[in-house]
Every structure is written in structure tokens, then in C-alpha cells.
Amino acid sequence: MDSPRSALITGGSTGLGLATAHHLAGLGLGVTVTGRTQATLDAAVAALHGAGADVLGVVADAADWADNQRSVAEHVAHHGGLDVAVANAGFTAAGDLSDGDPEQWRSMVLTNVLGPALLVRAALPRLTAPGGQIVLVGSVAGRIVRPGSLYGATKAAVAAIAENLRPQLTAAGIRVALVEPGITDAPFWGEQGAPPFALESAAIAEAVGWIVGQPAGVDVNELMVRPVGQSI
């Protein structure tokens, strides 16, 4: 990068969020990662420090307004500004609309849909303008029909947030990108593991880095990345 920049990544202590933090730090950005569990966050920060990153860890719930405000404030205090906000935190609940757990639904909808909106609301007053960027992590599941999938509906909502946000911010020089990964080797697969053709988180992190690294006048609005072998 031509000048020091910084990125705040929600859900940055594991999986895709952590891979994105490593990749952006490798591009020269200072990074802040948030997560809900102190021990997991500490391990992520230690790994990033060990790789030479300028990193801050903040314990925060992506679905909590006060936590988003505090995360942005601590990021700015540490890094001196905010250039990129990555709304990555999210998860999928087991089952579908016929047999899923409504309590898990509540948490999933709040994290996956309200979370990105809260990050945007907290970040905008401090986001560099012009030149700032918001990256929303959606999913291929938000663009295809998966019978009974409430998770897919939450990611469709993320896509809608991106589409409605871009025309609001583009005149101020703030870019908005939606990244939609296909099947990725992520922690939510649990013991069963991801399919053998699944993308590694690092591959999606590189896609985020490519978006963030575009010249200031280039606004990549949507990028869908599927692994070879994924048929839907």
C-alpha cells in the first residue's frame, strides 16, 4: 500500500475473518479483530503479532450496538483512523424452517443481518472519506434457492444491504463491496468437516485483499467465489 491504512474485521478471531486479517496485514494494513471469546481472541492476536501485524483485539458481539461503537472507537484510538470495515461475523444454525431451533434462529438473524448494519452505522462517522471502504461478507447461499434455508435468507439480506448502501455512499467516495463465498473450509462444519473441494479461507481472504487493493476510483461491488466442484 502507498500509505498506512487500517481495517476493522468483525468475527476476526477464527476462520475467514482471521485469514482476512492475516492477508490485509500482509498488505501493510493495521488490523483490528473482534470476537466474543477472550481466549480465542487472544490466540488470534498472538498469531497476528507473531506474523508482524499491527493488531488490536477487541472482545465484542457483532449484534450489539454498544460493542460496535466501542470497537470502532478503540480501533481509531489505536490505528489513528479507519479505512476499511469488514462485516464478517456470522454463522449458520442447524436444521431448516421445518425443524430448526428458533432460539438459534434469533441469534443467527441478529448476527448475520443486524450485525453488518450496526457495523456500518458505527463505522461511517469515522470512515475515511473519500477512499474508505465497507466490505460485507455474504454467501452464495444468499443468491440461490436452498429449500427451507433461513441462513440463505439472512445472506440474501446482506446482499440487499450492500445494494442499498452503495448508492447512498458513492457520492462521498466511500466504496461498498459484497463478497459471496461458496463452500469454504470453515469452523462451522464441525466434526463432519467440509467437502474435499471446499475453498480454504485464505482464498477468500485474497479476494478481499484484491478488492481492498483496487485504486481509489475503482468500486468492485460484488464478487462471488465458488470452488471448482461446487455445482450450485
The set of catalytic residues is 151
Tell me 185's DSSP state. Answer: -
- C-alpha cell recorded at residue 140: 452464495
Give me Rg for the CA atoms of the chain: 17
Residue 11: CB atoms within 10 A of its CB come to 25
Length of the chain: 232
Cell 475453498: give the residue.
199
Contact 172, 215 (CB under 8 A): no
Three-class SS state of 59: strand
Report the distance separating Cα 32 and Cα 40, nearest Å. 14
H/E segment holding residue 6: strand 5-9
Cell 464478487: give the residue.
223
Contact 41, 33 (CB under 8 A): yes
Exposure b/e, 124-146, CB count within 10 A at least 16 = b: bebbeeebbbbbbbbbbbbbeee
Report the distance separating Cα 185 and Cα 196, nearest Å. 9
